[in-house]
Structure 1
């Protein structure tokens, strides 16, 4: 294990990355849910085949928790709350995204010490928000009610500058990436491959596409490092690359921060019969890119797929407006708003992939299985109860195994 703040050698990364991931997951039950996608998929594998409704075959997030939603800017600078992480995207059952989001919101509510009845009301709000995306008669006023946490992060995203991005992500506005706890050194082969990667015009244009009159031939790699980032993705290849766009004097507006992330096989369940006009690419980076194009087009146009160190990777520029939505503590009223609004965001991403008849039929399915006292599908509530129970037990066992060790 490397000493504190001293980066490990490239051939010694895996152990400290695994240890850091385990400690991040031990911070709270909500963090455990975000980091342990495998437990959610194990539950899906274990339930009976017809327990959940089978929605139309569309691209789904596959890992639709609150941390994977947030502000995303398009090529023209417009900002909206969207799905921002597509590692697990597949052509699958949209019901899986609803349940995963519901689990994330339920554990966030428990972390905020809200009573169980609030969680039940949140699931009603989630169902209502999601269904509104498919209902042409739903009022626009109700569709646009944003919780305070969303309004705050949107205001911050609008005001953000490149300098703020640099200070937050690389802790410096100088044109270098400082090595330390968050950034580790590369070996010679990694550095060489990264330089060669951005000599390719189709990759270099990821940095010039959002800048008028920029030339792919004048994109230069200033610095690069291994990036210790994320939670569930810790242990995969992850690089931060700093680019100079015009080849001249290096200033904030001329710089570009690139995120390179390894794309691995999705654990999310997929439909085997995807339809004649829907095919998932075999390459994992191409799969992530295609999913982004369908679910979050503004993000998809800013991404590229490539190979690096003989692994499939996704490349995207980080913009100052790209922020993670953090829901750690909220009131009962804010919990209702968050559930309804975020479900609507996911619903819109699903609905844009369906034709009129598919939207109508899926909405009809969603509105079934209600009771007189609970205005949400019974399969949704049963799923959340089972998942919260299993994840609470899993979280406590995780803490016993990893947070009590002397190294922790």
Structure 2
């Protein structure tokens, strides 16, 4: 069936939510069980977190979302060419935030790249819009107002893509304090007010002239000697993964201490995560740097279009894929982004930035706040898609995605309605799936 025809069917017929308990339990077990041998404590945290709300369940099950994308009808506003958009893959409302880029600008953007892959741009729009339904309802916002916010987000996305078409504006566009308002502007302001000393005080301690990590129960815990040695040994490979033009002197990367980080995120719980304290620019303890190392698996997007992004493009290394996505989708990217294998597992490296602020969706406590934020969410997503096409690496995406998307969307109002309809229908499915999960969780069913 042609994409356009399938999309029209989808738009005209309600997508009925169905109970599928055994399938959901099987999917969750199959995805998480391979991680149980290395990080069962975090998997227990993941399950209890997902049981708390439909939105938390949604955050932890992007693999289910893409299984569904493989079977649900396509959009009326896609083409073969738009299927080569470099998407984030997990564009829910909690995966945006503020940070300070490598040029010192405090900006708001997409900030999670674990599932980065080539796919249809509408998958990011669908996933974001569905998260707006779940988060909006959790905040007590009426469905009519959530619908308005989704349409605002889609309109902002399309307006920005249209602006980028035929220009190079995407290579300078950033959301900053001066062109934002509301909760997004507040998040940028919080980032601007952060400091390296505050981050170091939170996680480290000084003993004389020596800085080391604190041990924080259920948050930051020691690693055994073999893991410590394996991470230390991987540093040279990591440094080699950084472009020579962005590489510091070897002394910058000198390892001072290592801890395992527990309890971060939702979907990524169960994947190993480490913090590595390194020397930084000088021998002073005031400019020490924390690197975050995160185990990476195959992208969930590959479940629906495996091979769209050639493994050769990322060296058949999933951490390299994530590093490429992070650099492709952000202007003035973190210069410490890199990757290495540790004990046979792929790890994505980046700075645990002192200036990083997560976007707190619970602050979107009114229709007006959600609608204001929706504009910036749409713009941020458009920016990520537009700068990661031929502008980043024409060998991976050989043309302008902003042009392809703009040309494919014959009606912005049509796309708004389609995405909104999808979001509410899929939120109903997520809620049913969550209820199935909770029943299994409460019954003690093996989920990992």
TM-score, normalization by structure 1: 0.83
Q: Give the Cα separation in 1 of the matches to 2:404 and 2:283.
A: 57
**Larger relative helix fraction:** 2
Task: Find 2:68's aligned residue among 43, 48, 54.
Answer: 43
Residues 98-143 of structure 1 show CA distances to partners (whole Å, capped at 9, x for unaligned) of: 11111111111101111111121112101111011122399x9x99
SS class of match (2:270): coil
Aligned residue runs from structure 1 range 354-365, under 5 A:
354=389, 358-365=401-408
Question: Structure 1 residue 12: deviation in Å?
Answer: 7.1
Give every structure 1 segment of 4 or more consecutive aligned residues whose post-TM-superposition deviation is greater than 6 Å: none
Residue equivalent to 1:136: 163
Task: Find 2:386's aligned residue among 330, 351, 357.
Answer: 351
Residue equivalent to 2:427: 388
CA 1:58/1:369 → structure 2, altered by over 3 Å: closer, same or farther? Answer: closer
Task: Find 1:306's aligned residue among 322, 340, 354.
Answer: 340
Q: Give the Cα separation in 2 of the matches to 1:243 and 1:399.
A: 42
Residue 348 of structure 2 corresponds to residue 323 of structure 1: no
Contact kept, 8 Å, 1:72 with 1:299, in 2: the verdict is: no
CA 1:271/1:39 → structure 2, altered by over 3 Å: closer, same or farther? Answer: closer
Contact kept, 8 Å, 1:69 with 1:325, in 2: the verdict is: yes
Task: Find 2:230's aligned residue among 173, 176, 193.
Answer: 193
Residues 38-89 of structure 1 show CA distances to partners (whole Å, capped at 9, x for unaligned) of: 2211221221356662325121101111221111322221121122111100
Residues 263-305 of structure 1 show CA distances to partners (whole Å, capped at 9, x for unaligned) of: 11111146568599x9454211111111122212433643101
Contact kept, 8 Å, 1:220 with 1:247, in 2: the verdict is: no
Q: Give the Cα separation in 2 of the matches to 1:201 and 1:137.
A: 34
Aligned residue runs from structure 1 range 74-113, under 5 A:
74-113=101-140
Aligned residue runs from structure 1 range 277-288, under 5 A:
279-288=313-322
Unpaired runs of 5+ residues, structure 1, are: 1-10
Q: Give the Cα separation in 2 of the matches to 1:313 and 1:338.
A: 32
Residue equivalent to 1:342: 377
TM-score, normalization by structure 2: 0.76
Question: Structure 1 residue 363: deviation in Å?
Answer: 1.8
Aligned residue runs from structure 1 range 9-408, under 5 A:
14-49=39-74, 53-54=78-79, 55-136=82-163, 146-168=180-202, 170=203, 175-199=212-236, 202=239, 215-217=249-251, 219-228=253-262, 229-245=264-280, 248-249=283-284, 251-253=285-287, 255-269=288-302, 271=305, 279-299=313-333, 301-329=335-363, 330-354=365-389, 358-368=401-411, 370=413, 376-402=415-441
Unpaired runs of 5+ residues, structure 2, are: 1-35, 166-172, 391-398
Contact kept, 8 Å, 1:284 with 1:312, in 2: the verdict is: yes
